[in-house]
Structure 1
């Protein structure tokens, strides 16, 4: 099966589809209550998925871009703090 949505992949795996590799922040929702069991942890990547925000280098950024960049910084920091799955 092939999907481009991590929530759909997560649901398919919970229903017994197969083995999957998902980001920790997605898988943690199913691991915590016991719906999924981590396997092959010795082969897990340590780097994680890269997150990048690209925007034109300007002296004065629009308010929308500035707010979005700050939102992403806070989101990434929160994901690092709430890292439930080791």
Structure 2
């Protein structure tokens, strides 16, 4: 929730934001596994999920900015379908 509130403060280009977002989030998640200090883990989780909230909101803005309003339903359906298939596939491969 905090990420969505502060997301409108970001005015950078979309691709620049997502590169930084994925880099920081990925490093934070990796560090969570290897660090034993509970307070540092809590801070890393806070950073990670704040950035995830920001990126979700900016991703939605990007969709509305780049696609014609007549095609938003189709675009949204394709994105949600592909994402759902990818999530289920990754869960199945992780269990194998």
Quickly name the TM-score band, shorter chain normalised. Answer: 0.3 to 0.5
Q: TM-score, with normalisation over the residues of structure 1?
A: 0.36
Higher helix proportion (structure 1 or 2): 2
